Amino acid sequence: MNALQDTERDIVAKETRLRELLRGYGALAVAYSGGVDSTYLADVANEVLGADAKIILGDSPSVPRSEVAEATELAHARGWNFEVIFTDEFTNEEYLRNDGTRCYHCRSELFTKMRDYAERTGIKVLAYGEIVDDLADTTRLGAKAAKQFRVVSPLVEVGLSKTEIRALSEGRGLPTHDKPSFACLSSRFPVGTRVTVEDLAKVERAEEALKHLGFKQYRARHHGDTCRIEIDAVDIPKLVDDAIREAVVREVTNAGYKYVTLDLAGYRTGRTAE
């Protein structure tokens, strides 16, 4: 057996262990965002537990309407036991002031709402899509909230990485297998810049314009009157083409920005607005 076959066999074995782990919970609620990892976890949980797997999408102004629509459509298409719950982090001053702890307050609010839902429906286990790649960053505040709320990480427990989850997702026919990374719209604001619903709407409109113009990996970073665009470095020549550039400037200024800039460093995973 060659190295490639060994790798494929190891990935399949991890998914088998994941099924066994999920079956042992009996019933659980999965935090679902429509991203690569949570979608895969939700699909396996549904396969193993059926109606006893509650797939929960947390909705708030920090989630683009297109993401909510795509995630909802996929959940219905897969036949999951799916619920949307509305989170209230935008009533929390500690979240809005964006002092570096925003992610903790966001996750805490989501897990609070999920815990309340679980208590009403008799579920004792909450799960989310943390993966082994995430463990490299020990400062992640979302993980701190998950630990406090005793939310389990099945994908970590069986040792699955992003690359492996993409491969397994493709095998399942999940359209998220090649989906670019995404973070909530509030992450487009530099630490110390207050998050407002009005400014989030500007960011969302700017990013929707980039999406409709054919860019896959992008960020519209909010700096007051200025929108700083990040895209994959390989796509920079496309953006500076006159027709595309003019369309970007037009749409982003229509979103409410006075200035539009391009970050020549390109998109890099894990960056914030800075």
Give the pLDDT confidence score for residue 33 in this predicted structure. Answer: 97
In 3D space, the residue among 87, 36, 27 whose CA is nearest the CA of residue 57 turns out to be 87
DSSP state of 179: P
- Chain Cα centroid distance, residue 29: 17
- With a cut of 60, say whether residue 7 has pLDDT above it: yes
Give the closest residue to 50 by CA, choosing from 24, 27, 33, 19.
Answer: 27
- The whole-number pLDDT of residue 182 equals 87
Angle 42-43-45 from CA coordinates, rounded to 5°: 65
218-223 vs 226-231, strand pairing mode: antiparallel
pLDDT at 1: 47
pLDDT, tens only, 95-105: 999 999 999 99
Output the pLDDT for position 137. 77
Torsion-angle region of residue 28: left (phi > 0), alpha (psi -120 to 50) or beta?
beta
pLDDT at 121: 93
3-class SS letters over 208-222: HHHHHCCCCCEEEEE
> How far is 31 from 63, CA to CA, in rounded Å?
14
pLDDT tens digit sequence for 136-172: 876 788 899 999 999 999 999 999 999 999 999 999 9
pTM over 0.85: yes
Lowest mean pLDDT: which of 6-15, 82-91, 188-197, 203-212? Answer: 6-15
Q: Counting runs of H as helices and runs of E as strands, what totals does the chain give?
A: 11, 7
Write phi, then psi, for 99 (nearest 5 degrees).
-95, 10
- Give me the long-range contacts of 133-139 (CB less than 8 A, separation at least 24): 133/161, 133/162, 137/270
Give, for 6, the enclosing helix (H) or strand (E). helix 3-25
The chain-wide mean pLDDT, for the chain, equals 94
**Token pair for residue 74?**
């996929």
- Residue 50 sits at the vertex; the CA angle it makes with 74 and 123, to the nearest 5 degrees, is 105
Beta bridge partners of 127: 30, 152
CA pair distance 93, 115, nearest whole angstrom = 22
What's residue 198's pLDDT?
Answer: 97
pLDDT in tens, 177-208: 999 988 999 999 999 999 999 999 999 999 99
pLDDT above 90 coverage of the chain, percent: 90
Residue 5 clears pLDDT 80, i.e. is over it: no
* pLDDT tens digits for range 241-255: 999 999 999 999 999
Contact at 8 Å (CB) between 210 and 220? yes
Query: For 98, what's the count of Cα atoms within 13 Å in the CB-facing half-sphere?
Result: 18
